[in-house]
Amino acid sequence: MSAIGADPGHKRTKGSYLDAAGKFTSILSSRGNPSFASVVAYASNGDVLVGDDALEYAFLEPERCAQSFKLQLGTTEPVLRDGSTKTARECTAELLRLLKRSAELALNCVVADVVLTCPVKFNDAQKADLIAAAKDAGLNVLRIISEPVAAAVAYGLMTATDPRVVLVVDIGGGTTDVSVVRIENGRIEVIASDGENPLGGSDVDEQLWALLLDAVEAESGTRPSVKDSPQFFAHAAPLIEQAKISLSAGRDSAVAVAHNGHQVTVSFTLTQFQEIMDSLIQRVMAVTDRTLAAAGMNEQDIDDFLLIGAASRCPYLRDKLSEHVGRAPRGEVNPDSAPAHGAASIAANELRQQGRASSLGHQTIPTPGVFVRDATPHAVGCAVLDHGTGDLRNSPIIPKNTPIPCMKADEFYLEREDQTTATIEVLQGEADAKRDECLTIGTLKLEKLPPEPTRTQRIRVEYSLDRNGMVHVTATDKVSGQSVSVSIDMTNGDTSSSDQSNTTTATPAPAP
């Protein structure tokens, strides 16, 4: 029996497990790669191709290939251009199914459990879809952990004899996450986290694509489009990726493509690349400074700096961020694999705490004790009317960066003495953000409320967040005892509720 850690990435998906000696081991693809392309192809002959096989198939039928769909989790948006209704959840399930099969082949045993990583800013809808995808793949989700926190576990800093404050900056293909964590006596606690989606390597890709398309249009007279020239984009995509790798290593690069009967060679200079990177770096620095401020700290308070994610391999970016933070990042762990490795360690620890020690054959895998306490990256509250603007806004009950798990409650008056219905709309997002800018978890509706001669704070609303950051809310009328709830059901990744309607929007009034 064994458990794995999985890091479903924007461009590459990584997995890891602990070997018989308790060491991190990457799950290898059939080609021997320590990661899998986050690509799924639904071929015209009915075959489903996943990973690098699907990436190659994109040359044949690009409209049947789904790529870079991670941020579409939590939605029902189609991810293919062939008119089908395949979603990010379905494609993520295929990736996790491949990861499970590959792990079982390497371990020669059944793998049933997983710890998943996700970006800091993933909301409940995205986490629910991720859980559902894992279940569809035949995996039981032990826990969801943010990518920076998982990476901190991988670096083994829990064994430090002195308390450490660690800054973790994770720049992936589509997201940038920053966490400040405190590590002491095998415990890792998040002080503050923040992130920005989308922000990452794909932003650099977009700029390089723009330069390429401008040059092709100038030479050929027409600008290629994904709709009209899918083969052009399938051919050029790996060339752009290779050019980015060369530029990241400090070398000029060039791409040769054909369009509309013209052969076009486009040169990318290091100066152009650094100008593109400067824009990305400034935004990453802004997220970093914001997170440090939320933690009540500055660069001088940091004992260790971890820089992870594919973009962290770029020396120019690494040097600029090191200068900004005032220290060089630690480098003893592969920055691409760190989140998956940390997740594998947490997975083994979760099994141990449940009395189901991980094993290979008859040998128990040594598992270091790890206590991880995350913090919520969103404010969770209810919709309250802003009388100044007329907007419904998120009034926080649980503020952003509150350690989880946690529970908080508030009590409200009804707006009128004769009011018989109270509706609470549960929101997740930034404090005071407009309702449309937040995720609506659900709507709690209390009906047929008995009148009371004198208004009191009769509606009690209890908010709780589990250790995965998933929301559960219960509203109770203290006069009648009526109670309704809404939550994310961890068993199937869906929003579940009891005795409620999700069609009415209103808010209880706070104390006058």
Q: What is the pLDDT of residues 268-278, one digit of tens each?
A: 999 999 999 99
Q: What are 333's two structure tokens? A: 């762990």
Residues of the chain with CATH 3.30.420.40: 1-154+333-374
Across 410-414, average pLDDT: 88
pLDDT for 106 equals 92
More confident residue, 500 or 44: 44
Average pLDDT for residues 121-133, to the nearest whole number?
94
Backbone φ, ψ for residue 132 (5° rounding): -65, -40
**Tokens 């407009």 -> residue:** 434
- The closest of 228, 199, 198 to 213, measured between CA atoms, is 228
Task: State residue 395's pLDDT score.
Answer: 92
The closest of 1, 12, 78, 5 to 336, measured between CA atoms, is 12
Per-residue pLDDT band for 452 (boundaries 50, 70, 90) equals confident
Q: What pLDDT, on the 0 to 100 scale, is given for residue 168?
A: 96
Q: How confident is the model at residue 364 (pLDDT cuts 50, 70, 90)?
A: confident
Give the model's pLDDT for residue 412. 87
* pLDDT (average), residues 346-356: 87
pLDDT of amino acid 512: 32
Distance between CA 418 and CA 281 in Å, rounded? 57
Nearest to 338 by CA among 201, 150, 183: 150
220 with 259: CB under 8 angstroms?
yes
Instruction: Identify the CA nearest to 37 among candidates 57, 20, 22, 23.
Output: 57
Predicted pLDDT of residue 53: 95
Does residue 84 contact residue 61 with C-beta atoms inside 8 Å?
A: no
Q: What mean pLDDT value characterizes the chain?
A: 90
pLDDT at 453: 82
In the chain, residues under CATH classification 3.90.640 are: 201-274
Q: Which amino acid is at 310?
A: A
Residue 87, pLDDT above cutoff 90? yes
Q: CATH 2.60.34.10 in the chain, residues?
A: 379-498
* pLDDT-derived band at 64, boundaries 50, 70, 90: very high
Q: What is the pLDDT of residue 488?
A: 66
Cα–Cα dist 476/198, whole Å: 38
DSSP class per residue in 322-347: HHHHTSPPP-SS-TTTHHHHHHHHHH
Q: Using CA atoms, how far apart are residues 325 and 230, in angstroms rounded to an integer? A: 42
Q: How far apart are CA 94 and CA 105, in angstroms?
A: 17
Residues in the chain: 512
User: Which residue type sits at 336?
Assistant: D
Give the per-residue pLDDT at 510. Answer: 41
What pLDDT was estimated at residue 511? Answer: 37
Task: Say whether pLDDT at 279 is over 80.
Answer: yes
% pLDDT > 90, the chain:
72
Q: How confident is the model at residue 501 (pLDDT cuts 50, 70, 90)?
A: very low
Q: State yes or no: pLDDT of 247 exceeds 90.
A: yes
pLDDT the model gives residue 496? 55
Q: Which fold has domain 1-154+333-374?
A: Nucleotidyltransferase; domain 5 (3.30.420)
Using pLDDT thresholds of 50, 70 and 90, give the confidence band for residue 494: low
Of the ranges 324-328, 447-451, 508-512, which one carries the lowest mean pLDDT score? Answer: 508-512
In degrees rounded to 5, what are phi and psi of residue 104? -65, -35
298-336 pLDDT tens trace: 999 999 999 999 888 899 999 999 999 999 999 888 899
Contacts 24+ apart (CB under 8 A), 332-336: 332/155, 333/151, 333/154, 333/155, 334/34, 335/307, 335/308, 335/309, 335/310, 336/12, 336/14, 336/34, 336/35, 336/308, 336/309, 336/310
Return the pLDDT at 356: 82
Q: Are the CB atoms for 247 and 270 separated by under 8 Å? A: yes
Q: Which of 27-36, 72-81, 252-261, 345-354 shows the lowest per-residue confidence on average (mean pLDDT)?
A: 345-354
Q: Is the pLDDT of residue 117 over 70?
A: yes
Phi, psi of 57 (to 5 degrees): -65, -20
- φ, ψ (nearest 5 deg) of residue 54: -70, -35
- Per-residue exposure over 283-308, b if at least 16 CB sit within 10 Å of its own CB, e if not: ebbebbeebbebbebeeeebebbbbb
pLDDT of residue 508: 42
List the CATH code of the domain at 379-498. Answer: 2.60.34.10
Rounded mean pLDDT, 78-96: 95
In whole angstroms, give the CA distance from residue 189 to residue 404.
10
Band of residue 509 on the pLDDT scale cut at 50, 70, 90: very low
pLDDT value at 10 more than 70: yes
Of 166-180, 203-217, 441-455, the poorest mean pLDDT is in: 441-455
Stretch 108-126: mean pLDDT: 94
265 band by pLDDT with thresholds 50, 70 and 90: very high
The CATH code belonging to domain 201-274 is 3.90.640
What are 261's two structure tokens?
Answer: 């009967």
